[in-house]
Chain A
Amino acid sequence: MRALGQDDAGRIAAARDLVKVYGRGEAQVRALDGLSVDLARGELTAIMGPSGSGKSTLMHCMAGLDTPTSGTVVVDGEDVGRMNQRRLTRLRRTRLGFVFQAFNLIPTLTAEENITLPLDIARTPVDRAWFDTVVDAVGLRDRLDHRPSELSGGQQQRVACARALVARPAVVFADEPTGNLDSRSSGEVLGFLRRSVDELGQSVVMVTHDPTAASYAHRVLFLADGRLVGELEEPTAEGVLDALRELGAGRRPADEPTAHGHADGRHAVVRP
């Protein structure tokens, strides 16, 4: 494996030997158990795994929202683990974008104000051309002066995606972005995330447990018990389902050539 910290055009973020332990004694839980992963630049990467597999913890650690117990995280060439609160805040403001499952928008601000919020906070002038590109891509031109309460769930989530992209972040982290949406709205949001990678050149990391959502990704990583147990390139929904079934049955994922994880046969439960 390549040394961390060294600039690499192909890699936008990486974790090495990541361990995250919650609680003590009897109640101790190892959410991440020595996990290492590379996330590629200019790709939509999906992270999948059953509840408790550590996928959310992995994303929180990579995004600087949570501090790993040990191990290193590098995002866009910078060591996140060594940053203090002030630098983490600046990192989030300038290099990262976030889309959460719900409660993504400030209810008192209009859609446009919500989208430009990270730039306003950073006191950076809005790049109108890029703003227009993003807004057109999410198809919200005629909704810009609406408050979140006047938008549908899918529209709110698209506003959140636009906000995540407006500062041209190095990487966007999306935590179950379609968890609260119906299938049609999910499709719109996922389609946009994929387009933002293919057409706008962004990098997106998405945690999901929906195989259909994962099928929009360039690559799917499978986690179980805090470890990376499989990987799938250019997945289809069926392929993902098969892979999950394999995992659930304690076997290696079906498409042998691309999977290099170390599934060790431990029991994994996958929720639909």
Chain B
Amino acid sequence: MRRVALRGIRSHLGRFALSVLAVLLGVAFVAGTFSLRTMMSSTFGDLVETSMVGDAYVRGGEAVGSGEPTGPMGGQQRTRIPLDLVDELAAVDGVEAAIPDITGPIVLVGPDGTAVMSGGGAPSFALALHPDEPAAWVEAGRAPEGPDEVALESATLEASGFAVGDTTSVVLGDGVRQVEVVGEVGFGAPVAGATIVFLDVTTATEAYAADGTVATVAVHAAEGLDEQEVVRRVEQALGAGDVVDPAAVEVLTGEDVRAETRAEIESALGFVSTFLLVFAAIALFVGAFIIANTFQMIVRQRQRELAMLRALGASPTQVLASILGQAAVVGVLGSALGVGAGVALVAGLRALFASMGMELSGRIPVDGFTVLVSVLVGTVVSVVAAAVPARRAALTPPVEAMREEVVVADRASVLRAVAGGLLVVAGASAVLVAAFAPAGLAVDEPGPLLGAGAGAVVIGLLLLAPTLVPPALAVLAAPAVAALRPLGGLARGNVTRNPRRTASTSGALMIGMALVGAAAVIAASTQASTRTIVEEEATADFLLQSATLAVPDELVAQVAAIDGVERADALRVGSVTADGEGVSAIGVPAGLFGASLEVEVVDGDLASLADGRAAVQRQAAEDNDWAVGDALTVTGALGERDVVVGAVIDSRAVGVPLVLPQDSFAELVPAAEGAVQTLFVVAQDGVAASGLRDALTDVAAPYVVVSVMDREEFADELAAQVDQILVILYALLGLSIVIAVLGIVNTLALSIAERTREIGLLRAVGLGRLQLATVVTIESVLTAVLGTVLGVAVGAGLAATLPSVYEDEGLSTLVVPWSQLGVVLALAVVVGVLAAVWPAIRAARMDVLDAVSYE
């Protein structure tokens, strides 16, 4: 039996080729994701190993904010410790150096006048180059001295195009300054595209630790001293000293901090790879449809052969095993090639990243785990997909071998249709309840219900599809049937004669298209909603934002000084803890509300927003039982403060729960962590917008990365960000759509082989080659359009309920981008035509006589 199964694959290799390709693509995605993750994690792991070489670390004792890592190297925000601690630590017996971590954002202006930045969105920051720093050393030139000199990390120097001795300018938190590049500093590991500028300690301290606090101090001990011992000695010294309350600081061994950082990196990478694996899973799921279809058709074609084997004494189990064995061969072959393709993919990505200035670790890891998981996934998917056809093959009665004609009608199963129908109804009801339930019935957490409902609708539709195919195609095919007699009718007959096969072929496409439809509606609605929010709430004439997310304070002052500027309101964002709840907070100058932003006041008064008072968002107030008059204890990196809730507001433009007056904010959040995110500019009455705009642009120009936008442009900018995400989503969905198209090619090719005699007959009664190719093309287009129409309708329909559910989160407007969906549909027609090319040529090349007498 094994020989029969293997010979079967060898002699019909072509039939399996597309199945192997489908497995290959899906597995390549999986293997690539794992491999990329390992490579990223080893890149960042190396970076941690080489840059965090302290034997012990001292840091604040209390975590601040929501616990999300925010620093350039990850790392949770904590209370800060005084810089004065350094001397005390350096004096500890056995400690050779105590180096404070003085760092902050910087913009390095490149030779072409634009900011030096890698394409991958890696951070750009400055570090103090301490003379005793063991993790970084001067490779060329010398260390920077004074405010007018910088050194660049080796990869940054190369990417920027500067040479040691060049002059340029940098933008620090406090302003622009002309500097000379005096040296190149090595870091011992690829820095993954980060732009790193080294300053001398005094300059960095002025820029980033002006308040006398830092996040951590690294302690480097003499050779041979155990890390635990260093920690013990440091703790003892802190207890004896009087600079800081020992309870307010935390001392950890270097290994603990490194492990913590590595864990943070792993969890961030884990999130990314989970995200990618979701799309890989979709691709594999779609691939499974192709495999199931292939085996279904092959089993059908081999019915007599299988019956003969049964007549010769093969047991049903043997037949089952032989089909599953073939599926396993397809799976293993596809997976093995897929692992190779995945590694090639990552190598390509690495080269691409490198060309964008993002150097990653040199090794492309192919570990046993990746190979094992990939091959296992590919094989299991193949075998499971072939299970149903294999079962049917096993149940072939031996008498089939004696029959003249094997007629197996793949009718839509009633049970399947009923189950699908129930699932669709249940899912749709769940979605409707989540979206439109009357207040009394309202569900606390509509999200999970909505998700489950949407999933049920999609799976239900996949089950129901064979029943839907004939009526749906009757409608879709009507134009072709009317316009191209008799070709349209022939094509419709071909796609409807086996509804289950057509359903699974277009179902594969439906899945990807449902996500495309949903993404398109969500993106368009988000863009429209943002635009509404900007129009309704932002009343300033201009907004300034920086690509580094930090508008320099110096620029804020310069803008305020421009003639014709009525107000320059700087909005700062930072993390704090309010009554034990980690939240994001904004710091605003008095009078911002009403002048630059117009928000709805639910309770209290915004005029009181000064002097130890705060405003909270309605949602946060409800969640935490905060009301006007309540006192909140707010903890920031710099300390603790009590504020009184002065107002409850409902604003979608202010995306954070807590609004603090600027002074209170500055007492809690250090300048380095609470940068100006947006600068609102209100013009004086009668000042021409264009003139003011020119003035603003002139002032902002030296800062390179600060853009000046009016409200319209600001809304466009936000919309463009949504579009960027949409492009990434489409690219990731692209693979599953490509696989689905392979599925159409596969089904067409196999069903043409099945219809050989019929095609011969048509040709004999005078059907021309071009006409035959047209029939095949119409079949292909119908299949593609069916999957697209169903998918887009389901995806867009489900997504259309989202604005009802997430109105409070700012998704207030429903927009269905009809023209975009129309383009998707037109694309489906093109895809259908492309998918038909090869099968149509094959069909047209068939010899009439061979075809008529084909057995």
B496 in contact with A108 (CB, 8 Å): yes
A122 in contact with B761 (CB, 8 Å): no
A200-249 CB contacts (< 8 Å) to partner B:
none
Flag A65-105 by CB within 8 Å of B: 1 or 0 each: 11000000000000000000110011011100110101111
Q: Quote the shortest CB–CB distance from A67 to chain B (angstroms).
A: 9
Interface residue tally for chain A (C-beta within 8 Å): 30
- How far does the alpha carbon of A98 sit from the alpha carbon of B496 in the complex, in Å? 27
B771 in contact with A121 (CB, 8 Å): yes
B486 in contact with A92 (CB, 8 Å): no
A85 in contact with B769 (CB, 8 Å): yes
- How far does the alpha carbon of A97 sit from the alpha carbon of B852 in the complex, in Å? 14
Q: Quote the shortest CB–CB distance from A178 to chain B (angstroms).
A: 15
User: Does any Cβ of A come within 8 Å of B278's Cβ?
Assistant: no
B493 in contact with A109 (CB, 8 Å): yes
Q: Quote the shortest CB–CB distance from B804 to chain A (angstroms).
A: 44
- How far does the alpha carbon of A117 sit from the alpha carbon of B486 in the complex, in Å? 7
- How far does the alpha carbon of A85 sit from the alpha carbon of B485 in the complex, in Å? 22
Residue from B407, B494, B496, B848 having most chain A Cβ neighbours under 10 A:
B848
B494 in contact with A89 (CB, 8 Å): no
B764 in contact with A98 (CB, 8 Å): yes
User: Does any Cβ of B come within 8 Å of A262's Cβ?
Assistant: no
- How far does the alpha carbon of A97 sit from the alpha carbon of B764 in the complex, in Å? 9
User: Does any Cβ of A come within 8 Å of B142's Cβ?
Assistant: no
User: Does any Cβ of A come within 8 Å of B602's Cβ?
Assistant: no
A93 in contact with B757 (CB, 8 Å): no
- How far does the alpha carbon of A106 sit from the alpha carbon of B762 in the complex, in Å? 8
Q: Quote the shortest CB–CB distance from A237 to chain B (angstroms).
A: 26
Q: Point out the residues of chain A lying under 8 angstroms from B728, CB to CB.
A: none
- How far does the alpha carbon of A66 sit from the alpha carbon of B852 in the complex, in Å? 12
B764 in contact with A65 (CB, 8 Å): yes
Flag A162-182 by CB within 8 Å of B: 1 or 0 each: 010000000000000000000
B765 in contact with A118 (CB, 8 Å): yes
How many B residues are at the interface, by size bracket? 20 to 34
Q: Point out the residues of chain A lying under 8 angstroms from B485, CB to CB.
A: 120, 123
- How far does the alpha carbon of A92 sit from the alpha carbon of B767 in the complex, in Å? 9
B762-781 CB contacts (< 8 Å) to partner A:
762-769, 771
B473-488 CB contacts (< 8 Å) to partner A:
485-486
Q: Point out the residues of chain B lying under 8 angstroms from A265, CB to CB.
A: none
B766 in contact with A107 (CB, 8 Å): no
Q: Point out the residues of chain B lying under 8 angstroms from A105, CB to CB.
A: 761
- A-B pairs under 8 A by CB, number: 73
A94 and B493 contact, Cβ closer than 8 Å, known pairs A100-B852, A113-B486:
no
B497 in contact with A108 (CB, 8 Å): yes
User: Does any Cβ of A come within 8 Å of B758's Cβ?
Assistant: yes
- How far does the alpha carbon of A155 sit from the alpha carbon of B494 in the complex, in Å? 23
Q: Which of A106, A113, A120, A123 contacts B761 (CB 8 A)?
A: A106
B766 in contact with A93 (CB, 8 Å): yes
Q: Which of A65, A86, A117 contacts B768 (CB 8 A)?
A: A86
Q: Which of A89, A103, A120 contacts B757 (CB 8 A)?
A: A103
User: Does any Cβ of A come within 8 Å of B628's Cβ?
Assistant: no
Q: Which of A86, A100, A106 contacts B493 (CB 8 A)?
A: A106
Q: Point out the residues of chain B lying under 8 angstroms from A85, CB to CB.
A: 769
Q: Quote the shortest CB–CB distance from A163 to chain B (angstroms).
A: 7
A121 in contact with B849 (CB, 8 Å): no
Flag B783-798 by CB within 8 Å of A: 1 or 0 each: 0000000000000000
- How far does the alpha carbon of A113 sit from the alpha carbon of B758 in the complex, in Å? 15
B326-345 CB contacts (< 8 Å) to partner A:
none
- How far does the alpha carbon of A120 sit from the alpha carbon of B768 in the complex, in Å? 12
- How far does the alpha carbon of A93 sit from the alpha carbon of B763 in the complex, in Å? 9
- How far does the alpha carbon of A33 sit from the alpha carbon of B119 in the complex, in Å? 77
Q: Point out the residues of chain B lying under 8 angstroms from A108, CB to CB.
A: 490, 492-494, 496-497
Q: Quote the shortest CB–CB distance from B499 to chain A (angstroms).
A: 12
Q: Point out the residues of chain B lying under 8 angstroms from A16, CB to CB.
A: none
A93 and B496 contact, Cβ closer than 8 Å, known pairs A65-B852, A106-B490, A108-B490:
no
A39-74 CB contacts (< 8 Å) to partner B:
60, 65-66
B34-62 CB contacts (< 8 Å) to partner A:
none
Q: Which of A89, A103, A120 contacts B486 (CB 8 A)?
A: A120
Of all chain A residues, the one with the shortest Cβ separation from B764 is A98
Q: Point out the residues of chain A lying under 8 angstroms from B490, CB to CB.
A: 106, 108-109
User: Does any Cβ of A come within 8 Å of B817's Cβ?
Assistant: no
User: Does any Cβ of A come within 8 Å of B489's Cβ?
Assistant: yes
A66 and B765 contact, Cβ closer than 8 Å, known pairs A108-B493, A109-B493:
no
A89 in contact with B497 (CB, 8 Å): no
Flag B568-606 by CB within 8 Å of A: 1 or 0 each: 000000000000000000000000000000000000000
Of all chain B residues, the one with the shortest Cβ separation from A123 is B485
Q: Quote the shortest CB–CB distance from B480 to chain A (angstroms).
A: 14
Q: Point out the residues of chain A lying under 8 angstroms from B493, CB to CB.
A: 106-109
A-B contact pairs, 30 of them (CB 8 A): A65-B764, A65-B852, A66-B849, A85-B769, A89-B763, A89-B769, A90-B766, A92-B764, A92-B765, A92-B766, A98-B761, A100-B761, A100-B764, A102-B405, A104-B761, A106-B490, A106-B762, A107-B497, A108-B494, A108-B496, A109-B490, A109-B493, A117-B762, A117-B765, A120-B486, A121-B486, A121-B766, A121-B767, A121-B768, A163-B765
The chain B residues found within 8 Å of chain A, CB to CB, are 405, 407, 485-486, 489-490, 492-494, 496-497, 757-758, 761-769, 771, 848-849, 852
6 closest Cβ pairs, A-B complex: A93-B766, A108-B493, A120-B486, A92-B766, A65-B849, A118-B765
